[in-house]
Amino acid sequence: MSRHRRIIKAGALCGLIGAIIFALMWIVAATVDSNWVLGEQTLSELGGNRPGRIFFNTGVILEALLSIVFVFGLRYTLSDDNLGKAGSVVFFLAAISLLAVGIFPITTGVYHTVASYSFFGLSLIALIIFIKPLQSSRVFGAIFSIVTIVAILISLGFLFLTNIPTAEAVAVICLLFWSSIISIRMLTAKES
């Protein structure tokens, strides 16, 4: 296996493992904190002075670190496309912002707010940038571009039609789903 392919596989594994770990840690934190209510409180509230904060903040930090490796794998997968490279840089910055969300929980005030808005904004921009490179990629193709568009539209629809806690949870679920299917495709694609 070439070095190029090893980087892609490592990134894909990290993308998939990160999504699974974060989903599990979110569930554990919400279970431990029986007062947290999906759709009424933001995810970040799980990371404040609450019983499940260690699980939530650890999940956020692990997902961020694994996402950094994921983005390098994705960048190598889209290496022939300058727009794909640009999307990878923006997604890398989103992962750094997510790391800051875990390091600066909601109790830190403005630091957390800036990190959180940066994460969601940069993630949205990255997904928009990825639409064309995914469509023209030999590895991904039109279906992955369509899935990306659907994830964006669902997230924005919930943002405009519901409250922030619900929209945030839906956006995170869409990102977890998106990174998981992208990772699975990166793992199963033949080396070119």
DSSP H helices in 78-163? 82-103, 110-136, 142-161
Does pLDDT of 152 surpass 90? yes
The tens digit of pLDDT for each residue in 56-74 reads 999 999 999 999 999 999 9
Averaged pLDDT of the chain: 95
Question: What pLDDT sits at residue 81?
Answer: 84
CA distances from 71 to 15, 186, 187 (A): 8, 11, 14
Does pLDDT of 191 surpass 80? no
**β-strand partners of 38:** 41
Mean pLDDT of 169-174: 97
